[in-house]
A and B are shown apart, each in its own frame.
Chain A
Amino acid sequence: MRNLVTRLASALILLGLVVSLTFVLVHAAPGDPVELLAGPAATATDIAQARRELGLDDPLPLQYARWIGGIVSGDLGESIAFRRPVVRVLGDALPLSIALGALSIALTFAIGILVGAIQAARRGRASDTALTIITTSVYAAPSFWLALSLVAVFTYGASRLGFPQALRLPAFGLRDPAGQHDGFAAIIDVARHLVLPVTVLTAIGAAGIARYARSAIADVLQSDHVRTARAKGAGTWRVHAHHVLSNALPPLVVLLALSVPGVIAGSVFVESVFALPGMGRAMLGAIAARDYPVILGATILYAALVIGANLAADLVMPKLDPRRRST
Chain B
Amino acid sequence: MTGLARAAVGTLVILVLASVIVPLVSQSDPLGISDVVAARLLPPLAMDAAGRFHLLGTDAFGRDLFARMMLAGRLSLTIGAIAALLSVIAGTAVGALAAWRGGIVDRIAMAFTDALLAIPRLVLLLLCAVLWRPGGAMVIIVLVATGWMGVARLTRGEVLGIRGRQFVEAADALGARSERVLWRHVMPNAIGPSIVAMTLGVGNAILLESGLSFLGLGVQPPEPSWGNMIAGGREVIVVAPWVALAPGLALVVTVVACTLLGDALRDRLAGDELLAGQTLAERG
CB distance A152 to B281 under 8 Å?
no
Bound CA–CA A287/B122 (angstroms)? 13
Bound CA–CA A205/B210 (angstroms)? 19
Q: Which residues of B contact A14 (CB under 8 A)?
A: 114-115, 118
* Minimum C-beta distance from A46 to chain B (A): 23
CB distance A18 to B115 under 8 Å?
yes
- Among residues of B, the one whose C-beta sits closest to the C-beta of A204 is B283
CB distance A148 to B4 under 8 Å?
no
CB distance A142 to B214 under 8 Å?
yes
CB distance B284 to A145 under 8 Å?
no
Q: Given A17-B114, A263-B284, A303 and B119 touching (CB < 8 A)? A: yes
CB distance A251 to B127 under 8 Å?
no
Bound CA–CA A226/B278 (angstroms)? 28
Bound CA–CA A31/B126 (angstroms)? 17
CB distance A269 to B214 under 8 Å?
yes
Tell me whether chain B's interface is mostly helix, strand or loop, or mixed.
Answer: helix
Bound CA–CA A307/B4 (angstroms)? 36
Q: Which of B4, B112, B127, B259 contacts A140, CB < 8 Å?
A: B259
Q: Which of B122, B217, B244, B277 has the most CB of A within 10 A?
A: B122
* Minimum C-beta distance from A308 to chain B (A): 10
1/0 per residue, CB under 8 A from A, across B104-135: the answer is 00000001101110111111101111111000
CB distance A151 to B237 under 8 Å?
yes
CB distance A142 to B251 under 8 Å?
yes
B203 in the interface, Cβ–Cβ < 8 Å? yes
CB distance A261 to B120 under 8 Å?
yes
- Among residues of A, the one whose C-beta sits closest to the C-beta of B244 is A148
1/0 per residue, CB under 8 A from A, across B201-240: the answer is 0010001001100110100000000010010011001100
* Minimum C-beta distance from B117 to chain A (A): 8
Bound CA–CA A208/B283 (angstroms)? 10
A7 in the interface, Cβ–Cβ < 8 Å? no
A93 in the interface, Cβ–Cβ < 8 Å? no
Q: What is the interface residue range for chain A against chain B?
A: 35 or more
A318 in the interface, Cβ–Cβ < 8 Å? no
Bound CA–CA A261/B203 (angstroms)? 17
B50 in the interface, Cβ–Cβ < 8 Å? no
Beta-carbon contacts under 8 Å, A100-122 to B? none
- Among residues of A, the one whose C-beta sits closest to the C-beta of B251 is A142
Beta-carbon contacts under 8 Å, A304-318 to B? 306-307, 310
Q: Given A140-B256, A148-B237, A152-B245, A295 and B211 touching (CB < 8 A)? A: no
A129 in the interface, Cβ–Cβ < 8 Å? yes
* Minimum C-beta distance from B135 to chain A (A): 14
Beta-carbon contacts under 8 Å, A236-273 to B? 251, 254-255, 258-266, 268-269, 272-273
Q: Which of B128, B211, B260, B280 has the most CB of A within 10 A?
A: B280
Q: Which residues of B contact A284 (CB under 8 A)?
A: 126, 215
CB distance A265 to B120 under 8 Å?
yes
Complex A-B: 5 CB contacts under 8 Å: A18-B118, A20-B115, A148-B233, A264-B122, A295-B127
The 7 closest A-B pairs by CB, nearest first: A261-B284, A140-B255, A261-B120, A29-B131, A265-B122, A17-B115, A145-B248
A interface residue numbers (CB < 8 A to B): 14-15, 17-18, 20-22, 25-26, 29-31, 129, 132-133, 136-137, 139-142, 144-145, 148-149, 151-152, 156-157, 208, 211-212, 215-216, 251, 254-255, 258-266, 268-269, 272-273, 283-284, 287, 290, 295-296, 298-299, 302-303, 306-307, 310
